[in-house]
Structure 1
Amino acid sequence: MRLLLALLIAVVALWSGYWYIGSSGVQSGFAAWFGERRTEGWMAEYSDLTVQGFPSRFDTVIENLALADPDTGLAWEAPRFQINALSYNPGHVIAVWPDQQLIATPVEKYEVKSRDMRASVVVGASTRLPLKRSTLTAEALEVTPAGRDEPTRIEALSLAVETVPVRTDPTYRFGLRADGVAPSVPVRAQLDPRGSLPEALEALQADMVVEFDKPWDRGAIEEARPQPRRINVKLAQARWGRLELQAAGEVTVDARGVPTGEITVKARNWREILELAVTAGAIPEGFAGTLEDGLSLLSQMAGNPKTLDIPLGFRSGRVMLGPVPIGPSPVIRLR
């Protein structure tokens, strides 16, 4: 009995020492990271940083966090951010966001409200912390431009990403699902001035495989974001009332962010979708009539005047409908 008790005391003492050393290392590591960002010209501030969770966890709690990258113009403020890890498996962490936060871009600031926003993140055993897989979920998400009171709402959001290990270049598979996406009142009024569509989209989801120029690891925050070089859209789908849009295809992306390739688009009740695109400014109004005539001919040839199944080409910085350019290509670059 005495031997068993002695062994138990020794194990507890050893584990307590391990937890103390590990938690001190985690705390000093985060503090050093913030210091390095400030040296690089970032705003990187917090009011308190503690590590809790003895004996089985390293739970890092950061209070009144403020980060701003001067090179990209991106900034983030949160009253509390938590990173939880099991002490025996530090490569798997759970990140927990507060119910309210502020995200700023060079164009606009956004107030973000949510319920239970969190992410499970698994990284590789390397100081670069290469991403292996991650899942982010949130409920009752509201995104509002700062100073306004008309949010875009999402009932439930799920974003999953995992590495595709058989590829030579860094490649990841992404899955997105957003339920109950309700555009803000001003956006809905602009897109649907007659109010003929439901308040929220019934479906918004995507499944794609993306090849990047470098891996997603700690350098994606500290240095520069990886840039997509090949995008394989297995399926992207949006359904809003009687309107439905599906897309699939593959494009390559050059160093300037200009795509080349082809995406096949299937549109149900395409005339109303075209009207929404013109209203939103995605298609010039003066070109809409010519485009509608051409699409009408294609749909009649296919035997269903309400449904389109057409390939959109991306060539030389233009979006092509067959041989006809319909507008400039989007620039695909991550800030």
Structure 2
Amino acid sequence: MLRLLTILSLVAAILWGGWWLLGAYSLDRGIAAGLDQARDQGWRVTVGDTSVSGFPNRFDTQFTEVDVTTPDGLWGVAMPFLQVFALSYRPNDIIVVPATTATVTTPGAPLAISADDLRASASLSLSSQPDVERLTVVGTGLSVASADGDLALDRGQLALRTAAEPFSYDLAVSLAGMALEQASFPAGLPDRIDDAAVDVTATWDRPPAEGGRLVSLKIRHSYVRWDDIRVDAGGDIRIGPSGFPEGDLVVDLVGWQGLLPVLAQAGLPAGQVALLAGGLTGLEDNGVARVPLTLRGGQMLFGTIPLAALPRLPAPYNP
């Protein structure tokens, strides 16, 4: 009996080792095919080296000198290495550990990002068109530097999952301990924000991996809080043909009086600040002012009072 068990154990070990070797070979071929497919779709992708290890229970894949740019050239990321870990018997559930330094290209200015710790977990679909079904990214000790200023973050988390509508994702982001330094924000804003969060459904005009552009945002809830001020917002936004956000928001303000000097220092005329103060006083109930805002023509408006200029995004494709 002991001899039989030994033989069976050896056979099982050989089969399991063979499964890992086959999986590693398939993974290596799949990575190469995936990179070629991405390049055929217009993505600019360069990778210095790719290696697979972790025998016999894991597939540990490391990429070095990673540089990826979207087909429209507006977004990109470059980092020294990227590690992807998966159990050999659950290869579609992965843990991703990027380098703690990276350069991110945006439609505005490039960002230099560093972190004490940064990692992600994801679940991938096993269909003929692979997609991310779930993604969670957690970072601590984050620093973002740009020409407009620096941002430091004690902790941040991003969670994403596929939504019911095509090309749509539910996205939740929470941030804690944000410090702003030498940033081109209106004078009077605090140099540290206690916490902020947003919960939205974002819809693209085609799969983001194929160069899709943002079409709309359904903001279920978002807020930012510092000192005695809290701003909560929700509403529906679409990206117009010009690329400017359009739509309506409802904003609840607590401690809104502290925002008036910020608007004045940002250049809002004194008469409009006074008019705004009167309007908010009339809207206040139990310490909360509920404010309807309109996004139109590249401006955020309270009635007819322009409060802020809006960023211009890539316009959705119009077939």
- Aligned pair partner of 1:293 in 255, 274, 278: 274
What residue in structure 2 maps to residue 249 of structure 1? 235
CA distance in 2 between partners of 1:117 and 1:175 (Å): 17
**How far apart are 1:272 and its partner, in Å?**
3.5
**How far apart are 1:278 and its partner, in Å?**
5.3
What residue in structure 1 maps to residue 127 of structure 2? 126
- The answer to whether the aligner puts 1:207 opposite 2:199 as a matched pair is yes
**How far apart are 1:174 and its partner, in Å?**
1.5
CA distance in 1 between partners of 2:238 and 2:79 (Å): 36
- Render the CA deviation track for 1:216-272: whole Å, top value 9, x for unaligned: xxxx33x2035233x221221111223221111223444554444321112233344
**How far apart are 1:191 and its partner, in Å?**
2.6
CA distance in 2 between partners of 1:228 and 1:174 (Å): 15
What residue in structure 1 maps to residue 212 of structure 2? 225
Q: Does the Cα contact within 8 Å between 2:283 and 2:291 map onto a contact in 1?
A: no
Q: Does the Cα contact within 8 Å between 2:239 and 2:315 map onto a contact in 1?
A: no
**How far apart are 1:3 and its partner, in Å?**
2.0
**How far apart are 1:130 and its partner, in Å?**
1.8
What residue in structure 2 maps to residue 236 of structure 1? 222
The alignment's TM-score, normalised by the length of structure 2, stands at: 0.85
Q: Which structure 2 segments of 5+ residues have no match? A: none
What is the SS of the residue equivalent to 1:293? Answer: helix
Q: Counterpart amino acid of 2:179?
A: A
**How far apart are 1:277 and its partner, in Å?**
4.3
What is the SS of the residue equivalent to 1:128? Answer: coil
Q: Counterpart amino acid of 2:176?
A: D
**How far apart are 1:50 and its partner, in Å?**
0.3
**How far apart are 1:53 and its partner, in Å?**
0.9
CA distance in 2 between partners of 1:136 and 1:10 (Å): 40
CA distance in 2 between partners of 1:200 and 1:325 (Å): 26
**How far apart are 1:305 and its partner, in Å?**
11
What residue in structure 1 maps to residue 303 of structure 2? 322
Q: Does the Cα contact within 8 Å between 1:299 and 1:306 map onto a contact in 2?
A: no
**How far apart are 1:180 and its partner, in Å?**
0.5
What residue in structure 2 maps to residue 312 of structure 1? 293
CA distance in 2 between partners of 1:42 and 1:207 (Å): 29
**How far apart are 1:43 and its partner, in Å?**
4.6
CA distance in 1 between partners of 2:241 and 2:4 (Å): 67
**How far apart are 1:37 and its partner, in Å?**
4.8
Q: Counterpart amino acid of 1:309?
A: R
CA distance in 2 between partners of 1:107 and 1:114 (Å): 22
- Aligned pair partner of 2:179 in 179, 182, 202: 182
**CA RMSD of superposed structures (Å):** 3.1
CA distance in 2 between partners of 1:104 and 1:259 (Å): 21
CA distance in 1 between partners of 2:185 and 2:246 (Å): 34
What residue in structure 2 maps to residue 268 of structure 1? 254
- Render the CA deviation track for 1:264-287: whole Å, top value 9, x for unaligned: 11223334424434545xxxx2x5
Shift of the 278–54 alpha-carbon distance from structure 1 to 2, 3 Å rule, reads farther
What is the SS of the residue equivalent to 1:202? Answer: strand
What is the SS of the residue equivalent to 2:135? Answer: strand
CA distance in 2 between partners of 1:43 and 1:100 (Å): 20
**How far apart are 1:301 and its partner, in Å?**
2.2
Q: Counterpart amino acid of 1:103?
A: V
- Render the CA deviation track for 1:138-174: whole Å, top value 9, x for unaligned: 000011127x9x631000000111223xx34343221
**How far apart are 1:326 and its partner, in Å?**
5.4
Larger CA deviation: 240-249 vs 154-163: 240-249
CA distance in 1 between partners of 2:89 and 2:54 (Å): 12
Q: Counterpart amino acid of 1:4?
A: L
**How far apart are 1:299 and its partner, in Å?**
2.6
> How many pairs were matched up?
315
Q: Does the Cα contact within 8 Å between 1:84 and 1:94 map onto a contact in 2?
A: yes
What residue in structure 2 maps to residue 155 of structure 1? 154
Shift of the 233–41 alpha-carbon distance from structure 1 to 2, 3 Å rule, reads closer
- The answer to whether the aligner puts 1:191 opposite 2:187 as a matched pair is yes
Q: Does the Cα contact within 8 Å between 1:81 and 1:97 map onto a contact in 2?
A: yes
